[in-house]
Amino acid sequence: MSLENKIAIVTGGSRDIGRAVSEGLAAQGARVVVNYFNNASEGEATVAAIKSAGGEAIAVRGDMTRQADVDNLVAETRQRFGDTIDVLVNVAGGLVARKTLAEMDEEFFEYVMKLNVTSTFLTVKAVVPHMGPGGTIVNFSSQAGRDGGGPGAIAYAASKGAVMTLTRGLAKELGPSNIRVNCVCPGMISTTFHDTFTKDEVRANVAAATPLRREGQAKEVADLVVFLASENSGFMTGVNVDINGGMVVS
């Protein structure tokens, strides 16, 4: 799955799944731009890990819901590594908080949509003009986009469902330019996301109900992303790939 000399941007690429994706792409020879927002130390730690393994990477701060920050990310990438961007992985996003319909207001709902859907739209729109034939985009949805999510995840699930549909539409529009667009839909993966938003007993119950009887690992998701970003998946586009240990199958 060689990505030798490819230029890759990973939004939300500094921790958990994003970090595993950044390291996985670099391990296959890509020069990686690690986007982060809140924590510079995590961004720099990811870059340091890549460099210590013999790879090449830089960290760029930016809020992917802001056009100016997205434009700066693209500009920093081109300034450092050249005009062409080969791979875009949109990991950035989040649940924000668990809220029922009664607890949500319009502002909260719109923010979650902006965080997960608008950010993906903005980065794709900014990168595609600099992506030549053979370019690949990998978006991030969730099992919640398939099944509606757990308690208090209505807005999150709706936004991730939108990312899945956005992926299908982009694949049709960009396919004639030989740019492929796919999406991964993780289930219960052992990350700080679930450390923050999911109770231990719920995680244990979900793991017990999963056919493989465990949570997934960030590296397992990253391995899938690397496959979708590489020529090994050359006839795949518009696909939303489940990775959840068999909990939800499509």
Q: Which of 36, 81, 140, 156 is catalytic?
A: 156
Domains in the chain and their CATH numbers?
7-191+218-240 (3.40.50.720)
Look over the chain and give the mean of its residue pLDDT values, rounded to a whole number. 96
**What is the three-state SS of 139-156?**
EECCCHHHHCCCCCEHHH
Identify which has the larger pLDDT, 124 or 209.
124
Structure-token pair, residue 45? 């730690």
Token output for 20: 């595993």
pLDDT at site 192: 77
200-209: per-residue pLDDT in tens? Answer: 888 888 889 9
Q: What pLDDT sits at residue 193?
A: 72
pLDDT, tens only, 215-228: 999 999 999 999 99
Q: Could you count the other beta carbons within 10 Å of the beta carbon of residue 65?
A: 18
The answer to whether 111 is a known catalytic residue is: no
pLDDT at 107: 98
Residue 71 pLDDT class (50, 70, 90 cuts): very high
Q: Which pLDDT does position 191 carry in this prediction?
A: 83
Share of the chain above pLDDT 70, in %: 100
> pTM of this prediction?
0.95
Q: Is the pLDDT of residue 176 over 90?
A: yes
